[in-house]
Amino acid sequence: MNAWNTIYDQFNPIAFSLGSIEVHWYGLAYACAIVIAFYMALRMIQKDPERFPIERKEFESYFLWAELGIVLGARIGYILIYEPNSSYYLMHFWQIFNPFDSHGNFIGIRGMSYHGGLVGFLIASYLYSRKDLKKLLIYLDLIAISLPLGYVFGRIGNFLNQELVGRIVPKDSHLGQIIGIMVDNELRYPSQLIEAFLEGVIVFLMVVWAKKHTKTHG
């Protein structure tokens, strides 16, 4: 057993507190993901204006729509797919986005679905650009380039929040014994970090390669 295996025993998912409000590392990582995706897209617009003929203000407006769609879709998707008391939230819809518990304590909004966020993003993107669908492909290209690095921080946030852990490490797996994380007295793969690398860093490199070798949008 090494120090990495027991990192959760030494790590607090709460970054700091502002009075009674607890700020989690996950929330900070999510904020970093948004900022990185936004500025990556802006850099692409500035660097390659012929491929991405969009004004900054226009993209800022679109990004606001897209982020709103992601947040709404991710939260509603979680309620519909993962929340065991989904019927309660469907009957009390305002509670889906209520950051306070029944005693008035601030607990934040917990539970976001990646798949729900994707659906919300696509719907918001379509609604924003439905009058000019050619621009929709340009927007999607920008997000395809900028999103993977933001995704890295999202998965790091899952790791810091001690959620979405991987499968139990087999006892005969030498690599698993090294990189595994103890969760509820069982050694599990840090799937969040593995996904951050494979679905974040690697996908980013693939999309950049595709951008260099294609001329059409979409």
- Reading the chain (218 residues) residue by residue, the pLDDT tens digits are 788 989 998 888 888 888 777 888 888 888 898 999 999 999 999 998 888 899 999 999 999 999 999 999 999 999 998 888 888 888 888 888 888 777 777 777 778 888 899 999 999 999 999 888 888 999 999 999 888 988 899 899 889 888 888 999 998 999 999 999 999 889 999 999 999 999 999 999 999 898 887 877 65
- If we measure between CA atoms, which residue out of 107, 212, 193 comes closest to residue 154? 193
Distance CA 189, CA 176 (A): 7
In a domain, 218, yes or no: no
Q: How many residues does the chain have?
A: 218
In a domain, 11, yes or no: no
The two structure tokens encoding residue 129: 């650009």
In a domain, 197, yes or no: no
At residue 161, the 3 state secondary structure works out as coil
| Beta bridge pairs of residue 17 | 22
Domain that holds residue 48: 17-164
In a domain, 127, yes or no: yes
pTM, 2 dp = 0.80
Count Cα neighbours of 59 within 13 Å in the Cβ-side half-sphere. 23
Distance CA 121, CA 196 (A): 20
Lookup result for tokens 């617009």: 45
Enclosing H/E stretch for 23: strand 21-24
In a domain, 1, yes or no: no
Domain count of the chain?
1
In a domain, 174, yes or no: no
- Cβ neighbours of residue 108 under 8 Å, at least 6 residues apart? 22, 24, 27, 99
In a domain, 69, yes or no: yes
- Cβ neighbours of residue 211 under 8 Å, at least 6 residues apart? 51, 141, 145
In a domain, 33, yes or no: yes
At residue 166, the 3 state secondary structure works out as coil
